[in-house]
């Protein structure tokens, strides 16, 4: 490539001196554009190379330079790739779309004409009505008029149906019957069943221990074992009732919104002399 550029420069300089019809500044501009055109073309920067070739093929340029630049321009147009961009919205073409290529504005609106592109990977950005769509594409040398179409999204709300009727509003979070009461009752039932299991096992263990001292067992030991068994029975009853209530509340919960915020659930089961007592507390 360097050898070719050097030869081209030598030819350009030779003809600069033998072109009396061109001014010195025009001849210099033409020669510079011709050298840059060759270099940019070899680097794959076809778009910039084409601009330089148009500059050095003007009538003010020396005839040899103009002839070479016109030849290069024709060869470049055959191999330079191009794309034809388009955009569709709701199955129809739209034209009020701004297009940028790698951050450079290449079209204020779509007109169906091809856009020259350098070979390689590029990012096309389409802007329409506040929305932006990006497309990354790999452009190949010689790829002519490649279609590049994007689908745009309609940001407007759909029109109401004919006749003035409207569809029911969508169900949002929080509508319908609240599950909080059912969950609270279920929680009480679970805690009560846990209490039943604890006091039941503890009471059974205490009864088993009394077998060794029967019938001369201490009255306090007998009362303790009896209390544990009573508390276990109460806990079982509370657990069964609470779970039944939870099931009922879940099945028959109201349709209206019932938002209940709870800050704490308290279940206390304590033995008493000759029996037991269970208490429940719920803070709203």
How many CB atoms are located within 10 Å of the residue 253 CB? 16
- What pLDDT score was predicted for residue 36? 95
Contact of 271 with 228, CB cutoff 8 Å: yes
Q: Is the model's pLDDT at 170 over the cut of 80?
A: no
The closest alpha carbon to 14, from 55, 61, 64, belongs to 64
Mean pLDDT of 208-220: 77
pLDDT in tens, 46-66: 999 999 999 999 999 999 999
Residue 273 binned pLDDT confidence (cut-offs 50, 70, 90) = low
The secondary element (H helix, E strand) that includes residue 4 is: helix 2-17
In which order are the strands placed within the sheet that holds 82-89? 115-116, 82-89, 146-152
Q: Is the model's pLDDT at 265 over the cut of 80?
A: no
Superfamily in which the 82-152 domain is placed by CATH: Immunoglobulins (2.60.40.10)
Strand partners, 69: none
pLDDT in tens, 141-164: 999 999 999 999 876 555 555 555
More reliable by pLDDT, 6 or 243: 243
CA distance 26 to 59: 10
Token digits of residue 163: 């006749």
The closest alpha carbon to 149, from 138, 130, 129, 135, belongs to 135
Q: Is the pTM of this model over 0.85?
A: no
- What ranges make up the beta strands (E) of the chain? 82-89, 98-101, 104-107, 115-116, 120-128, 131-139, 146-152, 264-272, 275-283
CA distance 194 to 200: 10
- What pLDDT score was predicted for residue 63? 93
Rounded to the nearest 5 degrees, what angle is found at the Cα of 54, between the Cα atoms of 52 and 56? 70
């Amino acid at each position: 490539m360097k050898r070719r550029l050097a030869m081209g420069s030598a030819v350009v300089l030779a003809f600069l001196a033998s072109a009396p019809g061109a001014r010195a500044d025009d001849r210099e501009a033409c020669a510079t554009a011709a050298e840059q055109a060759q270099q940019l073309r070899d680097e794959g920067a076809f778009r910039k190379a084409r601009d330089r070739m148009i500059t050095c093929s003007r009538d003010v340029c020396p005839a040899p330079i103009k002839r070479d630049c016109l030849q290069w321009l024709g060869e470049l147009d055959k191999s330079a790739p191009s794309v034809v961009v388009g955009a569709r919205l709701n199955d129809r073409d739209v034209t009020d779309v701004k297009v940028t290529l790698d951050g450079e504005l290449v079209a204020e609106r779509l007109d169906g004409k091809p856009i020259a592109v350098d070979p390689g990977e590029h990012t096309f950005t389409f802007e329409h009505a506040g929305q932006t769509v990006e497309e990354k594409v790999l452009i190949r040398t010689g790829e002519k008029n490649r279609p590049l179409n994007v689908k745009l999204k309609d940001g407007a709300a759909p029109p109401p149906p004919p006749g003035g009727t409207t569809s029911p509003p969508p169900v949002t979070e929080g509508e319908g019957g609240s599950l909080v009461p059912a969950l609270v009752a279920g929680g009480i039932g679970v805690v009560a069943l846990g209490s039943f299991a604890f006091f039941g096992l503890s009471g059974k263990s205490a009864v088993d221990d009394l077998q060794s001292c029967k019938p001369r067992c201490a009255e306090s030991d007998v009362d303790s074992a009896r209390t544990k068994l009573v508390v276990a029975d109460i806990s079982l009853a509370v657990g069964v009732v609470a779970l039944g209530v939870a099931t009922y509340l879940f099945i028959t919960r109201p349709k209206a919104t019932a938002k209940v915020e709870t800050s704490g659930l308290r279940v206390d089961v304590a033995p008493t002399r000759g029996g037991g007592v269970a208490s429940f507390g719920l803070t709203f």
